[in-house]
Structure 1
């Protein structure tokens, strides 16, 4: 089976919340702020999700690693709610002087495309991408499929028979399965849960046939032999799972994943962005940062401000197309 259509996008949890976001505070002083002595005080890093998760871990590891390359400390502040919308909105509306940054996740791309907020992808200026993780097709260890080819063949012959759990309607893990439907000519039953962890629990309990979450979210159960990973939705095999093929190896040209990075209000002077980007590049090379991501099975991928902007722009457009095809946009 050869499928030529390719998707590379990012999606995340969608909630029915419409929050208006202005393009930046009127007192931001974006054009008047001098970078000659930046920074002179602590920088606040907004994390739009609760402590303890992968996003929070990346943010805190980043803040810690920046100590050796940034003259002032970075304080992590969790601002939760609205699938990330509350934290993103605060970051967008902050004074554009480099002293309030935001840990951007894929939710920043999904919320506008779902019609849930008023802000758009250009309301935060990118600093650096820090992380990326692919979606993976994971099933029970005693499932009847030993290869992704067998899994997809069964799905093609039996539309909607295979129940795939996700982290909520419109989430990255929902739409990664929807993308697989689109490129492989299958039809699944999509079962939403309040996060990836409950979906994985449902799979362990025999209430699902599969999940399309990240390797990090199933790694413990893979290691214990309770689950097996049939394929990874990325361009190359992962070092930790070298025996797990990519979908592309099976002729399904699909790469889907999530990412995390740093952004600042859009009117922030480029000179300040350059300082943050340069320090960020050095920070992600710190052993402490590498070890935290490795321990949590999170992928480390660095891109500078321009590279990160390209990732967001490309994923945003492809995501918009898939949302329309999936007919799940909020009315």
Structure 2
């Protein structure tokens, strides 16, 4: 009897191992958090072909936008934990709790790969006398409220960067909201606002054309896509505790997916993100390739959530306190 149990257990283990070794034995579903043509969609579709080759299976791509990413995260969180449904996501779920959009964030997922991140840049008009963001602050201090900053409302890149800057510089400007970075940059070029923090990808071509002038990249060092533009920490080293910061792109599966499945996915996407084609696409879009997973990726996700959630909370732009959600201060 005892021998039978042992033999049965051995057979079960062998079968389990065989099944695990066969993964993936069918095509996967890749759920993209945002719509076709958006930044997350472009990055996801760029990295997928090499990942498919490494896995030996096709990944069927499905755009499932809505509710700032909450629909896609809920969809993947409701799928079986077998590695056949993966999420191509951006940063938004890390703010769902404080913004009152949902209870699911990346704590419920395993970061197969944080593929890369975008970088913010502070721009002004070419004929502006300012040569650095410190010049903006000094000017704003001399005439409080007169300088106009382009913004996109709470939670957007301009708003968050503006809020982070206000934690280290005592100045007062008037925020002018727009429906997106594009309209805000158009207004800047038309002289309707004086400066604007934006994603570097939105401003890169305008900077090259000389229709806007960069004052600083919102990063701890220069970026290759904008050589010669100083990092914001050159004038405000105190911001280092909030950096790196910017929109990011990643691949996720449910946290309770089997470890061997996670390992296969991690290896496949690490290989894919290391291809020259993918790295070139990221650089062309002024993104920084990260290609990190596991504990390193988890530490990045927690740092990003902490810095952003508390910045928004201190600016009075959240529905729930980060403290209530056990998000530590940076």
Bigger shift: 271-280 or 145-154? Answer: 145-154
The answer on whether the counterparts of 1:247 and 1:253 sit within 8 Å (CA) in structure 2 is: no
The equivalent of 2:36 in structure 1 is: 51
Distance in 1 between the 2:279 and 2:82 partners? 29
Structure-2 residue corresponding to 1:160: 145
Unaligned runs of 5+ in 2: 1-15, 321-330
> CA 1:60/1:167 → structure 2, altered by over 3 Å: closer, same or farther?
farther
Q: CA deviation at 1:294?
A: 2.6
The answer (yes or no) to whether the contact 1:164–1:189 under 8 Å persists in 2 is yes
How big is the shift at 1:228?
A: 0.7
2:80 maps to 95
Structure-2 residue corresponding to 1:71: 56
The TM-score with structure 2 as length reference comes to 0.85
Range with bigger deviation, 125-134 or 162-171: 162-171
Structure 1 contact 174–192 (Cα < 8 Å) conserved: no
Structure 1 unaligned segments of length 5 or more: list them: 1-31
Larger radius of gyration: 2
Q: Summarize the Cα distance change of 1:46–1:159 in structure 2 as closer, same or farther, 3 Å threshold.
A: farther
Q: Compared with structure 1, are the counterparts of its residues 195 and 95 closer, same or farther at alpha carbon in structure 2 (3 Å cutoff)?
A: farther
SS at 1:230's partner residue?
A: strand
Q: 1:211 matched to which residue of 2?
A: 196
Give the match's secondary structure for 2:225.
helix
Task: Please point out which of 249, 265, 268 is paired with 2:234.
Answer: 249
2:286 aligns to what? Answer: 297
The structural deviation recorded for 1:268 is 1.1
Match of 1:253, SS state, is helix
Distance 1:271 1:193, change over 3 A: farther
Aligned length: 300
Give the structure, 1 or 2, with the largest relative contact order (CA under 8 Å, sep 6 or more).
1
| C-alpha distance 78-215 of structure 1, shift in aligned 2 (>3 A) | same
Q: Which of 265, 286, 294 is the equivalent residue of 2:275? A: 286
Contact 2:158 2:197 (8 Å CA) reproduced: yes
Q: How does 1:51-200 map to 2 (within 5 A)?
A: 51-200=36-185
The CA deviation at 1:318 is: 2.4
Structure 1 partner of 2:26? 41
Distance change >3 Å, CA 203–CA 71, structure 1 → 2: same
